[in-house]
Amino acid sequence: MNIVLLGAPGAGKGTQAAKLVEEFGTPHISTGDILRAAVKNQTELGKKAKSYMDAGELVPDSLIIDLMNERLQEPDAAKGFILDGFPRTTAQAVSLDALLSQLKRPLDGALLVDVPFDAIVDRLTSRRCCKDCGAIGTVADASCPKCGGEMYQRDDDNEATVRNRLSVYERSTSPLIDYYKGKGLLLTVDGNRPVDTVYADVKALLDL
């Protein structure tokens, strides 16, 4: 299973990826995780990436691709991969295709978790987090359902910020949907349903 995850912030990509990892053991690879690991391990690429990050600049696509190449050749990725957060643009998708072609490990699909923006706004603005254990709940939870701790709303879960994040996503990342549709790789699942219902459809789409 070699897949790219697509979908707006709050669509539930991470939740579905976690279920795939739990059942199949396929590594869930995000650019953030790759960057943090490379910097922590002080690899040559990690040192280069850190110089950009310390300066508050975006890490160039070419460096991200080199890091991805390094990561995909680690032993756990032999059984496949779930890419999350990369590619973010069509240019990155073209670079990723070239890398996967070199590695002879083509994508099986680009899985789009599709949720209407209004539903995402409702979902994220009603989200609450536990101050003690970090568990995610909703506005209906007076205290943490896991540990009984105090619940709070994250600063970036207010409506104006959520709508801005969705607008950025629509401009920069949603063209990927057309890109993968054109390559016959787009698999779309309705993410505006219960988690287990969505997951059953995800497995059916991926022939798992």
Where residue 124 sits, what CATH number does that domain have? 3.40.50.300
**Quick one: CA dihedral 114, 118, 122, 127, positive or negative?**
positive
Query: What proportion of the chain, given as a percentage, has pLDDT over 90?
Result: 62
The domain in which residue 26 lies consists of 1-204
3-state helix, strand, coil in the chain (%, to 5): 50, 15, 30
Higher pLDDT, 36 or 187: 187
Active site residue 105: no
Could you tell me which residues are annotated as the binding site for Zn(2+)? Answer: 130, 133, 144, 147
Cis peptide before 106 (omega within 30 of 0): no
Banded model confidence at residue 16, pLDDT cuts 50, 70, 90: very high
Question: What's the whole-model pTM score?
Answer: 0.81
Active site residue 123: no
At CB < 8 A and 24+ separation, what contacts does 149-158 make? 152/128, 153/127, 153/128, 153/129, 154/127, 154/129, 157/124, 157/125, 157/127, 158/125
**pLDDT tens digits for 36-84?**
888 888 888 889 988 888 887 878 888 888 888 989 998 999 889 999 9
Catalytic residue among 131, 154, 181, 183: 154
The pLDDT value given to residue 4 = 96
Count: domains in the chain? 1
Catalytic residue among 88, 105, 163, 203: 88
